[in-house]
Structure 1
Amino acid sequence: MSSTQQLFGDYGELSLQANGGMIGPAKFKLPGLDPIKPLTCPNWHDRPGAEDWLPLIKNLCGDFICAPYGAPEMSEALPQNWKQNPGEKITNDNWFHGFAVNNLWDVQIDEGVPTSGQMICHPPTSHPFEQVSRKVSLLPDGPGYQVELNIVARSDIKFPLALHPCFLLPDQPGSLNLEVATAGAGWTYPVSLIDENAPVAINARFDGLNTVPRIDGKKMDLTKLPPDEPFEALVQIGAPEGEVRLVYEKLGFEIIFSYDAQLLPSLVIWISNCGRTEAPFDGKFRTLGIEAVAGAFDLGPHVSTSKENPIAEEGISTFIELSAGEKLTTTSTIRLQAL
């Protein structure tokens, strides 16, 4: 079976990847506009040295899920208030962002229906998940797609979860408006991300995305993207409404990402604007990750399953709990429309 299967519909096409169960590349049509490729797929998997990269990075493309979300071990560099009463490690899952996104899935297009397909991951029998699957369907009434995620627990488990689409970040500074319905206050990343090109203050609070603190003491507006500098940042905000709009004013369209905010009550926003200089990013990579999460950043199960992490202490859930045999189902939608 091919490692990639293709969905086709009246409004565009979408690839389903066996590597990591990723969705993308995607290409959609809107009247009067050139074909739109809304997802980031760098296509660097065959570069020299790629066999040594984490599979998630090697095969990075578009829209994927992280279960469990984040690092398998807790960073000792974390401030003390992020390390209080840590939760337990996920048994037999030592992958960053989880086994599923770093391994192969079975991918099949629904028979006679080229607009929908199934993606299924079967973790090893020692893993606490019995099955992770995604049903992907092109929207019938316009450009975009819907994803139904199902996770079946093999054993009792508490884990952080993220839906992790990576969207187009345009070249022109400030040409993308990021609009989060009833966005709450937020947190900056509690440790240093990279040695350079990371100007956001470390381990700080902010009232809104338009007043995010910088290391130099100034504020910056992360609702107008990209910044006019090489830049790498992760911030997290409460997002109780479950809808994000990415308005590409110069390109003439917007993307609406909607999801279940009762299950995934906050957003981690990853802005990568040519800030990472190591391979494979090479100071050229751009993306806007809009991660709908039940988690405390990507700090992993130890931090996220603690009810004493700073985000959980403010009443925002940072993990999901399943009993053996229990099935979690959640649906998300990505839709494009003209301005």
Structure 2
Amino acid sequence: MSEHVLKWAHGEAVVLSTAAVLADCRFNLGGKAFLPFARAPWMGTVTDMSIIGHLRELGGDFVCVPMGSGGPAPQAPPEWAALMDRPRDWPIHGPAADEEWTIVSADASSVTLALDYPETSPVLRLERRVAARPDAPALDSTLTLFARRAAPISVGLHPIFRLPEQPGRLRLEAAFDFGLVHPRQVAGEQEFSSLATVPQANGPVDLSHSPLGSQKNLNVQLCGMRSPMKATWLDEGAGMILDWDRAQLPSLQIWHTDRGVDVPPWNGQYRGLGLEPIAAAFDLNDAISTGPNPINRRGVATAIDIAPETPTIIRHSVVAFSS
């Protein structure tokens, strides 16, 4: 594994070759250090190569091509049940989130990495560029996808942000058409229209203010995103805006885990909030996203179409601010 350090007037960041992970980022906000991204406590210590790359080095931002992970589920809402027998995609979130990328160019404030895909994939090659914005506490990322052959494929971006210690002290704000609880986690109502009232078995929870206290795990998809995602750490006077091309990636998956995964390397330690722009049906098997499903039947794309003639370019940014 190799790493590249970005330094500019408004911050410092580290990008790893493993899964092209943004491992660390510090923004300078008026002389105050602001670290919005999550970072696994085991980073740099896992030597078991059977654990996929983005879990060995679980930092703040990576890419998923295809988005899928999935695996069979014994129970699901009726409209999802017939789809939930698909096997797990491997590696989870695709080669992009597992393999060693090659650093092809780098300077003081940017780095470009590349990864060739197996011949069995419709994807030929990925290039990922992470660049500091010279005049702002901001990072701009570009994913360029080169196709081997024309095909639909699910795609996701996977920023993960730091949870505060106290429940409810991270405020989320976004506009969307409709939200759905992950079909694996439904115990009644699945759909919602406000982050403040996400249905759960024991009554609605307020996902607009996290962490959720006694609830360790929750996964939802905001479909038909109409705005960036704004997050404010209320006790720190700071926040960030996550923005991307919503015509390409029309949904945002929110993955909330607060010491909710017990198997290695997690061991009940990890706290993070994934805010993941996607063209996918949650993190389900890629075949579910590329075929008919309850989300794309409502006009929200769950895959992108790639073709050899024209590379697909997907951009996203994280801009920090003082509140």
Relative to the length of structure 2, the TM-score reads: 0.92
Q: Which residue of 1 aligns with 2:36?
A: 38
Equivalent of residue 306 in structure 1, options 273, 282, 291: 291
Q: Which residue of 2 aligns with 1:63?
A: 61
Deviations, residues 135-185 of structure 1 (Å, cap 9, x unaligned): 1110112112101110000012211111110011111111110011x2232
Cα RMSD (Å): 2.4
Deviations, residues 41-100 of structure 1 (Å, cap 9, x unaligned): 2152554673332222112111011010012766565555226589x999xx73210112
Count the aligned residue pairs: 322
Deviations, residues 230-265 of structure 1 (Å, cap 9, x unaligned): 511100112433401001110111100000000011
Matches within 5 A, 1:69-88: 69-71=67-69, 75=73, 78-82=76-80
In 2, are the aligned partners of 1:82 and 1:303 still within 8 Å (CA)? no
- State how far apart, in whole Å, the 2-side matches of 1:132 and 1:143 are: 26
Which amino acid in 1 is paired with 2:2? Answer: S
Q: Which residue of 2 aligns with 1:144?
A: 138
- State how far apart, in whole Å, the 2-side matches of 1:155 and 1:75 are: 31
Which amino acid in 1 is paired with 2:116? Answer: H
- State how far apart, in whole Å, the 1-side matches of 2:201 and 2:264 are: 26
Shift of 1:305: 1.1
Shift of 1:298: 0.4
In 2, are the aligned partners of 1:176 and 1:249 still within 8 Å (CA)? yes
In 2, are the aligned partners of 1:69 and 1:161 still within 8 Å (CA)? yes
The structure-2 alpha-carbon separation of the partners of 1:8 and 1:32, relative to structure 1 and needing over 3 Å to count, comes to: closer
The structure-2 alpha-carbon separation of the partners of 1:108 and 1:156, relative to structure 1 and needing over 3 Å to count, comes to: closer
Shift of 1:128: 1.8
Equivalent of residue 164 in structure 1, options 144, 158, 168: 158
- State how far apart, in whole Å, the 2-side matches of 1:222 and 1:81 are: 24
Equivalent of residue 117 in structure 1, options 111, 117, 140: 111
Deviations, residues 249-301 of structure 1 (Å, cap 9, x unaligned): 10111100000000011110001112222222222211010010111000121
- State how far apart, in whole Å, the 2-side matches of 1:324 and 1:183 are: 32
In 1, are the aligned partners of 2:44 and 2:57 still within 8 Å (CA)? no
- State how far apart, in whole Å, the 1-side matches of 2:2 and 2:36 are: 21
Matched, 1:213 2:207: no
Matched, 1:104 2:100: yes
- State how far apart, in whole Å, the 2-side matches of 1:150 and 1:76 are: 37
Task: State which drifts further: 67-76 or 278-287.
Answer: 67-76
Structure 1 vs Structure 2: percent identity of aligned residues?
Answer: 28
Q: Which residue of 2 aligns with 1:20?
A: 19
Gaps of 5+ in 1: 193-199
The structure-2 alpha-carbon separation of the partners of 1:270 and 1:73, relative to structure 1 and needing over 3 Å to count, comes to: closer
Which amino acid in 2 is paired with 1:163? Answer: L
Q: Which residue of 1 aligns with 2:273?
A: 288
In 2, are the aligned partners of 1:128 and 1:156 still within 8 Å (CA)? yes
In 1, are the aligned partners of 2:141 and 2:317 still within 8 Å (CA)? yes
- State how far apart, in whole Å, the 1-side matches of 2:189 and 2:303 are: 21
Shift of 1:219: 1.2
Q: Which residue of 1 aligns with 2:306?
A: 322
- State how far apart, in whole Å, the 2-side matches of 1:269 and 1:225 are: 11
Gaps of 5+ in 2: none
Which amino acid in 2 is paired with 1:20? Answer: A
- State how far apart, in whole Å, the 1-side matches of 2:61 and 2:270 are: 16
Shift of 1:32: 4.4
